[in-house]
Amino acid sequence: MNIIEVNLPECYDTVEILPLSDLHVGDRNCDIKAFDKFIEYVLSAPNRYLIYNGDNIDNATRNSVGDVYSSLMPPHKQKKWLQKKLEPVKDRILVFVEGNHSRRTTRDADVHIVEDIADHLGKADLYREDEAYIKLKFGRRKSSGSQMVYTIYVTHGSGGGKRPGSAVNNIELLGLGTDADIYVIGHVHKKIGYKSTIRKADLRNNNIIAEERLFVISSSWLNFGGYAVQHMLVPGAKGSAPITLYGGEKKMEVVI
């Protein structure tokens, strides 16, 4: 896996990272108005950036679990609609990662929908099929003057469970196999953020240092109904979980 290196202006005091996953364009419960306001919000400040993290088109097919007959538009029109909507923010997108809904078409016809979207927007180099590792640099440390660096691990996510604890358990497992400052998933349609601390050996100074890690789960953009009602799920908060990074000190925050 090649690391995506992102170099942002040193003058930024903060950078806001907004995960975008589980929009499910084509589903009759997709909240288009909320998404339009979200795009406006991203464009209203220069230091806001997106992580495209899968399942942003519903992509119900004849062989899928989803209900193809109730879709508002077929998958090829879902893709075109989303490409048009993302055009104004294409230079704010840090990475494109597939989700399980787009993989339906990959299995059936070897078509990678998210890769097509990234290619259409001129960002084919930012496409990753399963996972992405981002090295993001901006600002200057107040203590040393060196440039601030954050690492972000992104994957769409998997698993289910009706309660939040199952989602937390799944994302926490990522930290056992991959070292990063921030871990971002979607998929479970829950909005969750929490921190943990990992202790590391500082061999240069013969010391133990403690480093915070931030775990972020972004939710869907669906109004309550349909699949959620049929499977006795509870209504959840919709939309992105904005992450704020600081340039003068190593500090990470998420808004839920």
pLDDT tens digits for the chain (256 residues)?
A: 799 999 999 999 999 999 999 999 999 999 999 999 999 999 999 999 999 999 999 998 777 666 666 788 999 999 999 999 999 999 999 999 999 989 888 888 888 999 999 999 999 999 999 999 999 999 999 989 899 999 999 999 998 778 889 999 999 999 999 999 999 999 999 999 999 999 999 999 999 999 999 999 999 999 998 888 887 888 889 999 999 999 999 999 999 9
Q: End-to-end alpha-carbon separation of the chain, Å?
A: 30
Give the C-alpha separation, 148 to 249, whole Å: 7
The CATH number fitting domain 4-254, selected from 2.70.98, 2.60.120, 3.60.21, 2.40.50: 3.60.21
Please report, as a single letter, which amino acid is at residue 91.
Answer: D
**Length reported for the chain:** 256
Nearest to 13 by CA among 139, 135, 137: 139
CA distance linking residue 55 with residue 59, whole number of Å: 8
Strand partners, 208: 201
CA pseudo-torsion sign 105, 64, 98, 93: positive
> What's 244's DSSP letter?
E
Beta-carbon contacts of residue 150 (< 8 Å; ≥ 6 apart): 135, 136, 137, 181, 182, 245, 250, 252
Q: Comparing C-alpha atoms, which of 61, 48, 30, 99 is closest to residue 239?
A: 30
Distance CA 121, CA 89 (A): 10
